[in-house]
Amino acid sequence: MKNSNFFLYLIIVVICSLNYSFAKGINIIPWPTKVEIGKGDFILNKNTLVCYNHRELNSLSEYLSKGLQLAIGSSYKLEQINRNAPLSKAINLIVNPSMSIGNKEGYELTVTEKQIIIKSIDQKGIFYGIQSLLQLLPITGSMKIPCVNIIDEPRFAWRGIMIDVSRHFYTLNQLRNVIDYMGIYKLNTLQLHLTDDHGWRLEIKKRPKLTTIGAWRVPRTGLWAKRDCPEKGEVASDGGFYTQNEMRELIKYANSRNVTILPEIDFPGHSLAAIASYSELSCSGDSQFVSPGCPIGGIRENILCAGKESTFAFVEDVLSEVAMLFPNKYVHIGGDEAFYKWWEKCDKCKARMRENGLNDAHALQSYFTKRVSDILKKHGKMLIGWDEIMKGGLPPNAAITSWTGIEPGIEASKKGHYVVMNPTRETYFDFRQGDPAIEPPAATYGKCILLLKDVYKFNPLPEGCDPKFILGGQGSIWTEEISTYPYLEYMLLPRALALSEVLWSSSQLKNWEGFTHRLERHLDYFLKNDIVYSRSHYDATIVPSKGSKGNLLIDVETQIKGLDVYYSFENFYPDHHCKKYIAGEHISIPKDAETFRVITYRNGKPVGRIISVSLDELQTRINQK
């Protein structure tokens, strides 16, 4: 009983602390490990100094000064000085290798009325302390920073975002924007899906055709996988690539935001762009084209031939330059969705299988993966791939990204392989964020939905895994349907913020209501700075079901507490004059009704979008479950 009472007391203390923090304007995302609220505020003015105790902190001092200038809308920048001892009336950045925080990304932030101190054992921790400090500022341009003491460190070492730049090409400036968001919200790994059937995006000097041919396709719009293939004589003008010098610049920029870039070169499947560049890489040697989004499946030969030694010479050429270019100790080799049809009828592949005692195509892919792993090892790198590379057996020291679910990650961790959790249903940001009736259309994933609250529920440490082999997790944005950068931002924000809290904050401190309360401040910041983001979490969630007599039942849920829901079956848009939904009750459907419309309100004003969906469509959704 004593233990139960103490646990209840602890919960009450945490909740009260969170509520008090909200009242004081502590809206930090991701939520820190420990927050103690003080009395009063530190007042910024033009005489405030930024002090740092090591020369290598000079760039972070400059970053902080510019950040404060932007945050408060000031015409002046704070003066920066190199000084060993902290000063009063100053913001002090202190690297102290002997302090008790053992994690390089951890930090302590202390704000009093007299001074501000950010301490860490490493520059990385100082950078994250700066992010928390900047988030303490209100977006109104106030010069007040509330007094607080924060001790903070991450839950997981790997906190990532994967962006597919093959299906749609994004410029360096656009990727820098993404890196900025990642730095602000303490995400630290950007995986770039650089190659696929639809474009090769990285310069490889030994194989120039990869970018002169493989980086370009004919222009198309419309739903993915339903587009027309290239016509005879049509010019391939849509695409782009990153030179190695450009990638070096991006890597350097990412490093300044505590973000490491993980390159993904997809082998052996998803290789149509490479085969279009060098047709001898395929089993048949037939010429191919870079797909503009027309059907591939078993129609186009998009897998590298595992029976030719020249294929592994190609892999060596590519990975030797990739290994030289990227500092990350891992190189992602894809390995997913390899279409074995071409291998199974290839004489060279069948000969390879006989020579090496390989029973099936899974074993042949395992052979391929092990040879790629050996190439990477020779160049000082480790292999990571999508979880399909487990089929047939993993090379020693190989890691996986578990995307088909959590089960492969659990299995790999038990076998002593490191795992990044990226399960589709919890972390695929290309899924719609709300009802299909109002979200952008998508052919690739149909009507799959990933609500903000479901991202927040994601558990990277599922029951049965070996925790010491779970590196962390990431969210993925496959861009078949995402053709513009504003669309990319819309799909990323605010779900990336929910993911950041999942991967950084202690699981015991996660609090959905607290997160959504703090999120309000960040959405206001996005609005003020003309950043595209989704407000889908304010919309109603329609929950159709089937009654005992096969009749349609409609319930409505909301992700955010305190919303009022109004609905209508009539042929006009609903508002607060219409029927109000009572939580937990099935909505009564009038005879001959055809369309259901619903909207959410907060404090007497509309906050969500109107959703209009036919009753036939709702019935179809039930049948498809």
Rounded to 5 degrees, what are φ and ψ at 112?
-120, 175
Dist CA 267 CA 270 (whole Å): 7
- Write down the catalytic residue from 113, 286, 309, 337: 337
Q: Is 196 a catalytic residue?
A: yes
b/e sequence 56-78, b meaning 16+ C-beta within 10 Å? ebeebbebbbebbeebbeeeeeb
Q: How many CA atoms lie within 13 A of 165 on its CB side?
A: 25
Q: Is 198 a catalytic residue?
A: no
What sign does the CA torsion over 304, 306, 309, 312 have?
positive
- Write down the catalytic residue from 270, 332, 417, 537: 270
On the 0-12 / 13-18 / 19+ scale of CB atoms within 10 A, 597 is buried
Dist CA 466 CA 454 (whole Å): 23
Q: Could you count the other beta carbons within 10 Å of the beta carbon of residue 413?
A: 24
Dist CA 567 CA 597 (whole Å): 5
Dist CA 79 CA 99 (whole Å): 27
The residue ranges of DSSP E strands in 291-391, in sequence order, are 330-334, 382-386
Residue 505 CB contacts under 8 Å (≥ 6 apart), including other chains = 30, 31, 32, 33, 155
- Write down the catalytic residue from 153, 196, 203, 238: 196
Catalytic residues: 196, 270, 337
